[in-house]
Chains A and B, each alone.
Chain A
């Protein structure tokens, strides 16, 4: 049993990073995965505020174009392009990834597999630092002459290649640099995730006993690792085009703007699954606990997720149906795109089947998980329209797309992350949150989310194009301007709906009831240690895992849940 004791390295780790080390050693120079998770969470929440604020300014301009936005002034078309670019960039790379992967991946993986920390704790510290640097560079980019990047979050050249085209000079270059740093951070993170889960599992934690949250973190990390290479190459070429006048994307001298689009979307489409899969994992954890049933078809879900990983690399050109690539490519990509609905629906059906004959309680994490399912079913269905090549001729670049991706991205990153946040908050911070405030937060969010985004489908069908700074020049949009006003008012209420959440968290951190080790009676490993878990997670001996992660309501057992650590023999 020697190998279950802390190793010499563990002990050194313990000595250098245990409590009582003062502010810097605990919060800045920490290699503890739980602290790094909180650092990622803090950055993510910081950027959420900024990303949300930028979206509010855009919405104001679209509802009442040309009028003064309070505290900002008139939004000119140049500023609008900055807003739309930075909002998209921030939400995807600086909110969804740091929260979904950075915070939850770091927090959950070691705790759920019974490890003391990540495989490379120092690399982990480097990862959050580099991410912090990326954040600082992105922040600085708002304040340089010419303003922040304004070529859309997709940064298509030649628009993104030359200052004359956009007006953004250093802003766009720093935008590229921020991406490079952020990718480096997540490459370190991804390698760490995979190595940790493959090598540091506690005795008895076989791969098939690993919670789905861990599996989905790994799938996301794998997709990221496999897809980011081409984009890094593409971004370096764009940087060279901007800085020293190479002509990788300039036609007439061997360059081609479509090269970027292929490289970008070869990364960009898988990237949406990088954003989606961690929240899918959270929902897979929350559903069994609050319906007291095993997840329906654990292995089948793994197969489906594997299918998503594979297919996600075969669909990128559905962003390019009308880009100028050979039209004969459209049908194969249309088919692969629509096919991905099969594994995705598969997972959603497994989630719904988990509810069947359960004993469902509607605590806040469960409400958000259910919200995720409902919104995602809808967002997924609207994706079929975009996946059909002939229909996408019309839809591409319209507000229908904006509505579609907010239904999928918002449902996954916001609803999914809130499900995870409310569920693991007691474990992370050792305090309970208020149930009534949580439920209020959920209901306000779900109502105003739909009021904000639903009618965007309609105005898109009516012909409103995305990244439009001002709908006034278009006769065809005049009768529909009320939708813009409506969506704006709703979006402000959606932002305001986050107040109960903030109040809840602050109140709980200041004066919340201390959380017991296992407030939800959940069976996965992380709930078998104190809340919050001590350094190195497991005290003297590592946990020994005896069974799968979702043993709820097992017939013949007096208790309706069996912790993964409970030995089989003494099961009763």
Chain B
């Protein structure tokens, strides 16, 4: 409970560490600030509790010299705020700004109430005969950037991958997107983070991150006709 970082699920993405480090920055700055503020508050309450024969000190706090006692801490807060945003901007840009070139693009459509996952197949194009659809299952290789095309078939859903530190709403009529590069094989959960109707909290997909050979085997199994070179599909 002391260190909130421990509560996050394990990070398995290349950019998750950036997000976590901004979290940690805010956490420690906030904790120190909290202790100072509430410490002062507590000390005042004890020191200045009502006692016989002592009268309160008359001070209005109006003159600038007195108000400086609240304005200076506020200036410090302003500086800390700007620091937090300055540290946050690159992390945001990494996740949501420029997407790196990716070999694999996957389309995920939020539907009441499942993730419809479509792979373009060896030709790399959506809407052709070799597309394959999976429900609630995403398979990716470890250590490769993957591009996501996010859509909605009905209402707003929010694609959430806690272990990747990724989240993006899916809005009807709009293409949104994202990318990630997973760093550790395993199965990870994919809840929906926007209320989307009665089945909302049953919406839970699986992200399978495979070691390279295992991924090749999975691809072979899905598209038996394609060659390995096809399925790798350099851009």
Question: Residues of A with Cβ closer than 8 Å to B?
Answer: 77-78, 80-81, 84, 150-152, 156, 158-159, 165-167, 250-252, 255-258, 291-300, 322-324, 327-328, 330-331, 334-335, 338-339, 341-342, 345-346, 348-350, 352-362, 370, 373-374, 377-378, 381-382, 384-385, 388-391, 393-394, 396-398, 455, 457-459, 461-463, 465-471, 473-476, 552-555, 560
Contact bitstring B28-66, A, C-beta under 8 A = 1, else 0: 001001100110110011001111001111111110001
**Pairs across A and B, CB under 8 Å, 23 listed:** A77-B201, A77-B202, A156-B155, A159-B155, A159-B195, A165-B197, A331-B88, A342-B78, A350-B70, A358-B48, A359-B55, A360-B48, A381-B33, A388-B88, A390-B22, A391-B22, A391-B88, A393-B96, A393-B167, A396-B167, A466-B193, A473-B204, A475-B189
B84 touches A388 (CB 8 A): yes
Q: Is B81 an interface residue (CB 8 A)?
A: yes
Q: Is B1 an interface residue (CB 8 A)?
A: yes
Considering the chains assembled together, what is the distance between the CA atoms of A555 and B74 in angstroms? 30
Number of interface residues of B (CB under 8 A): 85
A458 touches B156 (CB 8 A): no
B88 touches A389 (CB 8 A): yes
Question: Which residue of A327, A357, A358 contacts B97 across the interface (Cβ within 8 Å)?
Answer: A327
A360 touches B61 (CB 8 A): no
Cβ contacts under 8 Å, B168 to chain A: 322, 324
Q: Is B224 an interface residue (CB 8 A)?
A: no
Considering the chains assembled together, what is the distance between the CA atoms of A334 and B198 in angstroms? 32
Cβ contacts under 8 Å, A328 to chain B: 97
Considering the chains assembled together, what is the distance between the CA atoms of A550 and B48 in angstroms? 18
B92 touches A327 (CB 8 A): yes
Question: Which residue of A349, A393, A474, A555 contacts B73 across the interface (Cβ within 8 Å)?
Answer: A349
Stretch at the interface among B114-122, B141-149, B171-179: B171-179
Considering the chains assembled together, what is the distance between the CA atoms of A327 and B173 in angstroms? 17
Considering the chains assembled together, what is the distance between the CA atoms of A552 and B61 in angstroms? 13
**Known interface pairs A300-B61, A355-B44, A473-B202; 20 further A-B residue pairs with C-beta atoms within 8 A, sorted by A's residue number:** A167-B197, A252-B173, A257-B171, A300-B70, A300-B71, A324-B174, A324-B176, A334-B88, A349-B74, A353-B70, A358-B56, A370-B41, A388-B22, A391-B22, A396-B193, A458-B4, A463-B189, A465-B201, A469-B200, A553-B55
A167: nearest residue on chain B (CB-CB)? B198
A78 touches B198 (CB 8 A): yes
B7 touches A461 (CB 8 A): yes
Cβ contacts under 8 Å, B82 to chain A: 335
A331 touches B202 (CB 8 A): no
Question: Which residue of A158, A338, A346, A362 contacts B172 across the interface (Cβ within 8 Å)?
Answer: A158
Cβ contacts under 8 Å, A553 to chain B: 55-58
Considering the chains assembled together, what is the distance between the CA atoms of A393 and B93 in angstroms? 12
Question: Which residue of A299, A359, A382, A384 contacts B56 across the interface (Cβ within 8 Å)?
Answer: A359
A560: nearest residue on chain B (CB-CB)? B55
A468 touches B56 (CB 8 A): no
B55: nearest residue on chain A (CB-CB)? A553
B19 touches A385 (CB 8 A): no
Cβ contacts under 8 Å, A334 to chain B: 85, 88, 92
Stretch at the interface among B126-134, B157-165, B226-234: B157-165
B169 touches A322 (CB 8 A): yes
Cβ contacts under 8 Å, B69 to chain A: 349, 353
Q: A390-B91, A390-B95, A458-B4 are in contact. Are A293 and B167 (CB under 8 A)?
A: no
B85 touches A338 (CB 8 A): yes
A381 touches B30 (CB 8 A): yes
B155: nearest residue on chain A (CB-CB)? A159
Cβ contacts under 8 Å, A256 to chain B: 173-174
CB distance from A395 to the nearest CB of B (A): 9
Residue among B9, B18, B85, B196 having the largest count of chain A Cβ atoms under 10 Å = B85
Cβ contacts under 8 Å, B1 to chain A: 455, 458
Considering the chains assembled together, what is the distance between the CA atoms of A233 and B182 in angstroms? 44
A463: nearest residue on chain B (CB-CB)? B162
B55 touches A355 (CB 8 A): no
A299: nearest residue on chain B (CB-CB)? B62
Cβ contacts under 8 Å, B195 to chain A: 81, 84, 151-152, 156, 159, 467
Cβ contacts under 8 Å, A342 to chain B: 74, 77-78, 81
Considering the chains assembled together, what is the distance between the CA atoms of A475 and B156 in angstroms? 24
A465: nearest residue on chain B (CB-CB)? B193
Cβ contacts under 8 Å, A250 to chain B: 172-173
A390: nearest residue on chain B (CB-CB)? B91
B40 touches A296 (CB 8 A): no
Considering the chains assembled together, what is the distance between the CA atoms of A553 and B55 in angstroms? 7
A350: nearest residue on chain B (CB-CB)? B70
Considering the chains assembled together, what is the distance between the CA atoms of A558 and B162 in angstroms? 64
B50 touches A165 (CB 8 A): no
Q: Is B216 an interface residue (CB 8 A)?
A: no
Considering the chains assembled together, what is the distance between the CA atoms of A360 and B66 in angstroms? 21
Q: A159-B196, A381-B33 are in contact. Are A331 and B92 (CB under 8 A)?
A: yes
CB distance from B6 to the nearest CB of A (A): 9
Cβ contacts under 8 Å, B170 to chain A: 324
Question: Which residue of A331, A352, A361, A470 contacts B40 across the interface (Cβ within 8 Å)?
Answer: A352
Q: Is B102 an interface residue (CB 8 A)?
A: no
B173: nearest residue on chain A (CB-CB)? A251
A338 touches B81 (CB 8 A): yes
Q: Is B191 an interface residue (CB 8 A)?
A: yes
B57 touches A385 (CB 8 A): no
B156 touches A362 (CB 8 A): no
A552 touches B167 (CB 8 A): no
Q: A294-B60, A359-B50, A385-B26 are in contact. Are A470 and B189 (CB under 8 A)?
A: no
Considering the chains assembled together, what is the distance between the CA atoms of A473 and B59 in angstroms? 59
Considering the chains assembled together, what is the distance between the CA atoms of A189 and B6 in angstroms? 48
B31: nearest residue on chain A (CB-CB)? A381
B70 touches A346 (CB 8 A): yes
Cβ contacts under 8 Å, A377 to chain B: 34, 37-38, 41
